[in-house]
Each structure stands twice: as structure tokens, then as C-alpha cells.
Homo-oligomer: A and B are copies of this chain.
Amino acid sequence: MHQPKNLQSAGLKSTTPRLKILSLFENSKERHLSAEGIYNILHSSGEDVSLATVYRVLTQFEQAGLLLRHHFESEKSVFELNLGKHHDHIVCLQCDHVEEFYDTAIEARQKKIAADHGFTIHEHSLYIYADCTKRNCPNKR
């Protein structure tokens, strides 16, 4: 229901900034990016897109269902491509790397708990903040 394959079907014109940003999410090795991160990557590549446009495009993409917005512990919003498969996140406190996971048991328990409390779940966010110290972290810093 919520993932038009392209810009047109979302009612958005195919402009350079939009194509560049979308391409970044599709090709970058880090699936999770912030507005400033995107701005920096684009400028490093010689693409001059204003920070204001990055923010506008991210908001439009989120509303179009192309992107998902996350609020990790840092103050800035982080976005990722919405591939339609819900998942939760492990955020590494050492290197900021984000790992995804999905657990049927956790999903089921949440639904039951919300129901028991008289609520209808709209969505949820589960972030595990952890350490990759004992792990072969790809982004060790």
C-alpha cells in the first residue's frame, strides 16, 4: 500500500536533487542516513544540493512512503528506504552502525500487550543500543 516504485507515482517530479538522494539510499552501503549525512555525501561528490532541499525531499519521501524516519538516541532524524518489510534495529554505540532484525515472538507479544491494555497499535519502534566490541564491526572507529 505504501511504496510507490518511483517518483511519478508519488506525484513528485523527477528532479536532480530527488534522483540523487534516492540513488544514495539505493546504492550507499549504509542504509541509514541523516539529512546532514546526505548533504555531506552529496557535496563530497560535487553534487550541490542545498540542505533545505535535502530536508524537503526527505519529508516528501517519508510522506510518500518511500522512506522511514527513525529517532535514535542522537537528536537528529535518521532515514532508510522503506522496503515494506518491518524490522527493528540494533544501533552500535561504538561505531553508529545499524543492524536490522525481525522477531516473530516480539511482534506477537507486543500485539497481545497492547490489546491487554486496551490499545490498538499504530506502530512501534524497538531500538537496541549495544556494543560491537566483541564483534567484527565493519565500521569500527
Contacts and interface: CB of A to CB of B under 8 A. Distances in A.
Interface of A: 71-73, 90, 92-93, 99, 101, 103, 105-106, 109-110, 113-114, 117-136
Q: What 7 pairs across the A-B complex have the smallest Cβ distances?
A: A118-B135, A119-B130, A124-B128, A126-B126, A120-B131, A122-B129, A121-B130
Q: Chain A: interface secondary structure?
A: mixed
A69 to B, nearest CB: 9
**Which of A72, A99, A103, A128 gathers most chain B CB within 10 Å?**
A128
A114 B130 contact: yes
Contacts of A135: 117-119
A113 B103 contact: yes
B101 A118 contact: no
A122 B93 contact: yes
A99 B126 contact: no
Contacts of A136: 118
Nearest to A126: B126
A88 to B, nearest CB: 8
A117 B124 CA distance: 21
B118 A128 contact: no
Contacts of A119: 90, 92, 99, 128, 130-132, 135
